[in-house]
Amino acid sequence: MDTIVAILAAAIVAGTPLVFAALGELVTEKAGVLNLGVEGTMLVGAVSGFATAATTGNVWFGVLAGMVAGVLMSGIFAILTLNLMANQVASGLALTLFGVGLSAFMGKPYESVTLAAQAPLEIPLLSQIPVLGPVLFKHQILVYVSWALFAGVSWFLYKSRAGLVLRSIGESPESAHAIGYPVIRIRYLATLFGGAMAGLGGVHLAEFYTPLWVEGMVAGRGWIALALVVFATWRPARVMVGAYLFGGVTIAQFFAQGAGVTITAQFLSSLPYLATIIVLVFISRDMATIRLNAPVSLGRPYRPD
Amino acid sequence: MRLKLEARAEPSPLMGYLSPLLAAGLTIIAGFILFSVLGKNPLQAFYTFFVHPIRDLNGIAELLLKASPLMLIAVGLACGYRANVWNIGAEGQLVLGAIFAGGVALYFYGSDSKFVLPMMVVAGAIGGMLWAAIPALLRTRFNTNEILVSLMLVYVANLLLSWLVNEPWRDPEGFNFPQTKQFTETALYPALIAGTRLNVGFLISLAAIAAGYLFLNRSFKGFQMRVAGLADAAAKYAGFNANGMIWLGLLLGGAAAGIAGMGEVAGPIGQLLPSVSPGYGFAAIIVAFVGRLHPVGILLASLLMSLLYLGGEAAQMELNLPSAMTGLFQGMLLFFLLGSDVFISYRVKVVQPPKAQARLKEAAA
Amino acid sequence: MRTDKRITRRITGLAVGTALGLALSGAAYSQEPVKVGFVYVSPIGDAGWTYQHDQGRKELEKALGAKVTTKAVENVPEGADAERVIREFAAGGYKVVFTTSFGYMNPTIKVAEKFPSTVFMHATGYKSAKNVGVVNARFYEGRYLTGVIAGKMTKSNSAGYVAAFPIPEVVQGINAFAQGMRSVNPKAEVKVIWVNSWFDPGREREAANTLLSQGADIITHHTDSTAVVQAAEEKGKYAFGYHSDMSKYGPKAHLTATTHHWGGYYTKAVQDVMAGKWKTTNVWGGIKEGMIKLAPLNPAVPKDVADLVAAKEKDIAAGKLHPFQGPVKDNEGKERVAAGKTMGDEELSKMDFYVEGVQGKLPKK
Question: Distance (Å, rounded) from C-alpha B155 to C-alpha A266?
Answer: 10
Query: Are the beta carbons of C100 and C40 closer than 8 angstroms?
Result: yes
Evaluate whether residue C169 is within a structural domain.
yes
Question: Does one domain contain both C118 and C215?
Answer: no
Evaluate whether residue C297 is within a structural domain.
no
Q: Is the dihedral of CA A111, A113, A118, A119 positive or negative?
A: positive
Summarize pLDDT for A142-185 with one digit per residue, the tens.
999 999 999 999 999 999 999 999 999 998 898 999 989 999 99
Evaluate whether residue C354 is within a structural domain.
no
Q: Which domain holds residue C217?
A: 139-259+324-348
Q: Per-residue DSSP letters for B157-196?
A: HHHHHHHHHHTTT--TTSTT-S--PPPPGGGSPPBSSTTS
Summarize pLDDT for B164-214 with one digit per residue, the tens.
998 889 888 888 788 899 999 899 999 998 888 999 999 999 999 999 999
pLDDT at B152 > cutoff 90: no
Residue boundaries of the structural domains of chain B:
67-290
Higher-confidence residue of B300 and A276: namely B300
Please tell me if residue C76 touches chain A, with a CB cutoff of 8 Å: no
Which of chain C's residues have a Cβ under 8 Å away from the Cβ of B323? 43, 73-75
The shortest CB-CB distance from A270 to any of B141, B159, B342 is to B159
Evaluate whether residue C355 is within a structural domain.
no
Evaluate whether residue C358 is within a structural domain.
no
pLDDT at C28 > cutoff 70: no
The verdict on a CB contact (< 8 Å) between B338 and A79 is no
Question: Does one domain contain both C102 and C30?
Answer: yes
Question: Does one domain contain both C67 and C200?
Answer: no
Residue A36, CA atoms < 13 Å, CB-side half-sphere: 19
**Radius of gyration (Cα) for chain B, nearest Å?**
23
Nearest Cα of chain A lies from the Cα of C284 at a distance, in angstroms, of: 30
Nearest Cα of chain A lies from the Cα of C214 at a distance, in angstroms, of: 7
Please tell me if residue B364 touches chain A, with a CB cutoff of 8 Å: yes
> Subunits with at least 3 CB pairs below 8 A relative to chain B?
A, C
Arithmetic mean of pLDDT, B207-224: 90
The verdict on a CB contact (< 8 Å) between C193 and A258 is yes
Phi, psi of C201 (to 5 degrees): -50, -35
Please tell me if residue A266 touches chain B, with a CB cutoff of 8 Å: yes
The verdict on a CB contact (< 8 Å) between C106 and B310 is no
- A125-134, C39-48, C117-126 — most confident range: C117-126
Question: Distance (Å, rounded) from C-alpha B198 to C-alpha B121?
Answer: 17
Pick from A29, A78, B269, B49: nearest CA to C105: B269
Arithmetic mean of pLDDT, A195-221: 90
pLDDT at B130: 97
Q: In chain A, pLDDT over 70 holds for what percent of residues? A: 93
Number of domains in chain C: 2
pLDDT at A265: 66
3-state secondary structure B257-293: HHHHHHHHHCCCCCCCCCCCCCCHHHHHHHHHHHCCC
Please tell me if residue C206 touches chain A, with a CB cutoff of 8 Å: yes
Residue boundaries of the structural domains of chain A:
2-110+124-293
User: Looking at this protein, which amino acid is placed at residue A292?
Assistant: L
pLDDT at C9 > cutoff 50: no
Question: Does one domain contain both C167 and C51?
Answer: no
Which of chain A's residues have a Cβ under 8 Å away from the Cβ of B5? 83, 85, 303
Kindly identify which residue of chain A lies nearest to residue B326, measuring between CA atoms: A101
Kindly identify which residue of chain B lies nearest to residue C77, measuring between CA atoms: B278
Evaluate whether residue C254 is within a structural domain.
yes
Please tell me if residue A215 touches chain B, with a CB cutoff of 8 Å: yes
Pick from C166, C124, C114: nearest CA to C39: C124
List all residues 6 or more positions away from A129 whose beta carbon is below 8 Å from its beta carbon: A137
DSSP C198: S
DSSP C330: B
CB interface of C with A, residues 237-276, below 8 Å: 248-249
What's the full length of chain C, in residues?
365
Query: Are the beta carbons of A22 and A228 closer than 8 angstroms?
Result: yes
Choose the weakest-confidence range: A280-289, B95-104, B244-253: A280-289
Cα distances (angstroms) measured from residue B229 to each of A118, B138, B243, B341: 52, 20, 13, 18
Please tell me if residue C84 touches chain B, with a CB cutoff of 8 Å: yes
Evaluate whether residue C365 is within a structural domain.
no
Which of chain A's residues have a Cβ under 8 Å away from the Cβ of C249? 114, 212
Pick from B263, B244, B266, B265: nearest CA to B255: B263
pLDDT at B2: 66
What CATH number does residue C37 fall under?
3.40.50.2300
Q: Report the CATH architecture of A2-110+124-293.
A: Orthogonal Bundle (1.10)
Q: Is the dihedral of CA B168, B169, B175, B176 positive or negative?
A: negative
Question: Does one domain contain both C232 and C333?
Answer: yes
Q: What is the pTM of this model?
A: 0.85
The shortest CB-CB distance from B175 to any of C71, C88, C168 is to C168
pLDDT at B358: 57
pLDDT at C16: 38
Question: Distance (Å, rounded) from C-alpha C9 to C-alpha A302?
Answer: 74
Q: How confident is the model at residue C34 (pLDDT cuts 50, 70, 90)?
A: very high
pLDDT at A33 > cutoff 50: yes
Q: How confident is the model at residue C365 (pLDDT cuts 50, 70, 90)?
A: very low
> Subunits with at least 3 CB pairs below 8 A relative to chain C?
A, B
pLDDT at A194 > cutoff 90: yes
Arithmetic mean of pLDDT, C75-104: 91
Nearest Cα of chain B lies from the Cα of C100 at a distance, in angstroms, of: 16
Q: How confident is the model at residue B141 (pLDDT cuts 50, 70, 90)?
A: confident
The verdict on a CB contact (< 8 Å) between A227 and B151 is yes
pLDDT at C27: 42
Evaluate whether residue C95 is within a structural domain.
yes
The shortest CB-CB distance from C227 to any of A212, A257, A261 is to A212
Which of chain B's residues have a Cβ under 8 Å away from the Cβ of A294? 145
Q: DSSP 3-state assignment of C257? A: strand
Question: Distance (Å, rounded) from C-alpha A13 to C-alpha A28?
Answer: 24
pLDDT at B359: 57
Cα B314-A97-A250 angle, rounded to 5 deg = 120
Query: Are the beta carbons of C265 and C273 closer than 8 angstroms?
Result: no
The shortest CB-CB distance from C203 to any of A211, A214, A250 is to A250
Question: Does one domain contain both C339 and C238?
Answer: yes
Arithmetic mean of pLDDT, A262-266: 67
Nearest Cα of chain C lies from the Cα of A118 at a distance, in angstroms, of: 9
The shortest CB-CB distance from C45 to any of A205, A214, A260 is to A214
Higher-confidence residue of A209 and C291: namely C291
Question: Does one domain contain both C13 and C153?
Answer: no
